Amino acid sequence: MKGMVGRRDASVEGYMPDQGLREPLNFGGIVGQEIALAILKASLASGRIAHAYMFRGPSGSGKATAARVFARYLLCSRVAEGKSQEPCGYCPSCVRFAYGTHPDFFDMGEDRRTIKIEESHRIIEDSMKKPFLAPRKVFLLRDVENMTREASNALLKALEEPPSSTCFILTSSNPAAVPDTVISRCQAVPFRPIPVKALVHIILSIRDVAPDVALEAARFANGSVEKALLILDARHECGSPTLLEGALAESPVVGAERYSHMDPESQRQFLDSLGVELEKRLELSLESQNEEGAKDRSFRFYRECLLSVMKAKRRLERNVSPYLTFAGLLFELRQLSAKEKRSE
């Protein structure tokens, strides 16, 4: 198993892989997470690095981004020697990290896959070995709520008897789904939804959009960079169809055939984008409609559509046939649309 972090064009948590973004080099590039940063800075300043941290908070709040930045501090030779307070960027550890070839850094779950027991066993085996280049080994385990029960139980061995030269960083958007035995062995680092002002700043640094467009996306993103980008992706020029209108205009059979041939990540992104668009329509229907009857009809329609999208996502997660999943979704959306038109 090799380290997989730090490519210069590596994607950042909550960002789409094709954005070509560069992650922050230090804590100064992370906004809206003052409490989490204060905890991590205090650990570094005191020299008392916990053997395991649990970065917990909503999806898209930057947990994995912060974890990778924290790893830069832990692996930098000059920081470890007390010669610098920030990752230097030019010591052998920093250079290897930047190019994704650091032998002492392991990024698990970067592709959103479930971590299984075989990988937990490899993590335990690798954690027992001495660092090759840096002062310590760092393991980033993303979305640990997705670990199998067997993998979580195996990981406990490493968390209970960690080598002094190993640091585990776990992230979770749903800590309630993580075994208490795992949580109790980690120092908690809380992340919160990113404030609207900070989210606007992030959006403007990523996308070439007008400030008012960034503000609109931030308002409906519920503090998530991922959701904000999905909103922008779903936003079309005036007069062109939205994702919902495009889905309704397409033959369910033809659409199901097309979506079923997409790669799993593209399928997930489409459903996420459609879900975000429907969430935004739900909010707007409550804000802009003055007549109670009209508001109730549009709200019910968008709500039912959103429930259909959520059901389709669950079906894909359970490995139901993509063709059947998308055919069912598109048929349901058509039926809901026809019902809505009859009620007008």
Range picked from 3-7, 12-16, 73-77 for highest mean pLDDT = 73-77
| pLDDT score, position 170 | 92
Average pLDDT over residues 322-333: 92
Average pLDDT over residues 239-262: 78
CA gyration radius, the chain: 22
Q: How far is CA 263 from CA 109, 257, 259, in A?
A: 17, 13, 9
At 28-58, the pLDDT tens digits run 888 889 999 999 999 999 988 999 999 999 8
Write down the pTM of the prediction. 0.68
At 186-209, the pLDDT tens digits run 999 999 988 888 889 888 888 888
Nearest to 329 by CA among 340, 343, 313, 342: 313
Q: Point out the least confidently predicted range of 71-80, 111-120, 265-274, 290-299.
A: 290-299
Q: Six-digit token pair at 116?
A: 């299984």
Pairing label, strands 166-172, 137-141 = parallel
| pLDDT score, position 289 | 60
Centroid of chain to Cα 183: 20
Helix 211-220 with 196-206: angle, nearest 10 deg: 130
The yes-or-no verdict on residue 113 having pLDDT over 80 is no
The 3-state DSSP class for residue 38 equals helix
Which residues lie below 8 Å from residue 287, measured CB to CB, with a gap of 6+?
Answer: none
C-alpha–C-alpha distance, residues 280 and 128, integer Å? 48
At 232-248, the pLDDT tens digits run 766 643 334 577 888 88
Q: Six-digit token pair at 316?
A: 């894909």
C-alpha–C-alpha distance, residues 36 and 23, integer Å? 17
Question: Residues of the chain with pLDDT > 70: what percent?
Answer: 86
